[in-house]
Amino acid sequence: MLWFRKGIVFLSMVFCMSTVAFSQSAPPLHITHLTGDFYIYTSYNLYKGEKIPANGMYLVTNEGVALFDTPWDTAQFQPLLDSIRKRHGKEVVFCIATHFHNDRSAGLEFYAKKGVKTYTTIRTDELSKKNGMKRAQFLIARDTSIRLGGHRFEVIYPGEGHTSDNIIVWFNKERIIYGACLIKSVDDEDLGYLGDANISAYAATLRKVQEKCPQPKYVIVGHGNWSSTNALQHSIQMADALREKKLP
């Protein structure tokens, strides 16, 4: 059952996440336990001729599983559902995409057809429609507190950065930031694809994440190594440097 009231969403869901280190021989889908009921899942796709990993998350509760973002590889939409069912004996009931790019949103319509309730923000839906990307069934209008089968987390829009619509998810109790593509890996030497980015606002947006999500134990990035909590500060430093470089 799902309720939206005064910007607060009460849900029950299961969330699992999987992560994987990049290699040319990487498996098509990899799931790794993070902590407690949380898992990282990683799928792969080609970008500029290289096989690149994309990280997502899921959370497991007694009312089902919730996905944070969908696989980048379209061939892994069903295998992810099957893996979750086999591993946890539960169905995915909820999915939210953190921005409109297809490494986050490609599976929204597929999962909706499977009976999963799919969500994005209104801004993400506008950009998805404009750019011909997959769209969610339900829209979130503002920063939202969500309760899911004993878990509580915040869906936060900190400002423009990687895209104008990027959101993050903060699990205060577990101290987990799910930053997706807004936050870069400590192994990254730059901020990656900037075709839809706001370079002047990027660093300020990341600092808002830092303010709203203090002392994280885990910082989950959209691509690559997610094992370091220094990813957020590293991303701020890169965003500061890029802004200074671009200033006249």
- Dump pLDDT digits (tens) for 186-196: 999 999 999 99
Residue 5's Cβ-side half-sphere holds a number of Cα atoms within 13 Å equal to 5
* Mean pLDDT score, 135-139: 98
Residue 18's pLDDT is 33
Local structure of 168: helix, strand or coil: strand
Residue 149's pLDDT is 85
What pLDDT band is residue 247 in, cutting at 50, 70 and 90? low
Residue 46's pLDDT is 87
Q: What percent of the chain has pLDDT over 90?
A: 81
Sheet of strand 117-121: strand arrangement: 29-35, 38-47, 50-61, 64-68, 92-96, 117-121, 138-140
What's the gap between Cα 150 and its chain centre? 21
Least Cα distance to 178 among 68, 73, 72 occurs for 68
* Mean pLDDT score, 109-138: 98
How far apart CA 49 and CA 135 sit, in angstroms, is 27
Q: Which run of H or E residues covers position 132?
A: none
**Higher per-residue confidence, 2 vs 119:** 119
State which amino acid sits at residue 68. F
What pLDDT band is residue 59 in, cutting at 50, 70 and 90? very high
What is the pTM (predicted TM-score) of this model? 0.88
- Residue ranges of domains in the chain, CATH in brackets: 3-246 (3.60.15.10)
